[in-house]
Amino acid sequence: MIRSQETIDLLLKRRSLLAGSLVPPGPSQSELETILRCGTRVPDHKGLNPWRIHVVDRANQDKLHAKLPELHEGDPASLEKTNSKEAKTAPLLLIVSSKIESDKAPQSEQILSGAAVCQNIIVASAALGYRSQWLTEWFAYNSKVKALIGIPEHEEIIGFIYIGSEHEPPRERPRPELSEIVTKLEL
């Protein structure tokens, strides 16, 4: 059995960094390939491979963010947050979606498999020395944004994952006590 204290330490110390605080450099092409390979090593009931990953470089992020205001529907505060500095400095954006086309596995399992892809991407990025943030703002649920990106209506956007480097370490946030969230089941 292989044991890796380094992996445990990484998981215990990993922190997200706000997308608007991420700076260059981002992953190289070979590091990105490693991140993507790690990302797809997830539980996948019935081997459906329901996920898709769109890679968005800095220039295309700017174009995407410039088009968001005209696609926005709803609460003005959510648009103002999108227009702020947040999510506009990361060198790399990965958009993960799950296509729900098969009835071989429940829809929820196909979506959760896509969420596992997001988590693996975040952990692989951290293992390579990068920071990231997984966002699902209003634009993850907007059909016009899906169309702009080329994601069919029947697919669910699981996350916008911004990846880059830090210029200052992220602050720790409070974590729940295990006694507050873990229960031993006794039947």
pLDDT tens, residue by residue, 46-96: 888 889 999 999 999 999 988 888 887 766 666 666 655 455 789 999 999
What is the pLDDT, as a whole number, of residue 82? 61
CA distance to 81, 149, 154, per residue, from 75 (Å): 10, 22, 24
Report the pLDDT value the prediction gives residue 72, as an integer from 0 to 100: 79
Among residues of the chain, what percentage have pLDDT more than 90? Answer: 63
pLDDT above 90: residue 163: yes
Question: How many C-beta atoms surround the C-beta of residue 112 within 10 A?
Answer: 19
User: In what order do the strands lie in the sheet containing 155-164?
Assistant: 51-57, 92-99, 155-164, 131-135
Long-range contacts formed by 103-107: CB under 8 A, 24+ apart = 104/45, 104/46, 104/48, 105/45, 105/46, 105/48, 106/45
Flag whether the pTM goes above 0.85. Answer: yes
> What are residue 23's DSSP bridge partners?
165
Confidence of residue 157 (pLDDT cuts 50, 70, 90): very high
The domains located in the chain, with CATH, are 16-169 (3.40.109.10)
What's the length of the chain?
Answer: 187
Q: Which comes out higher in pLDDT, residue 79 or 97?
A: 97
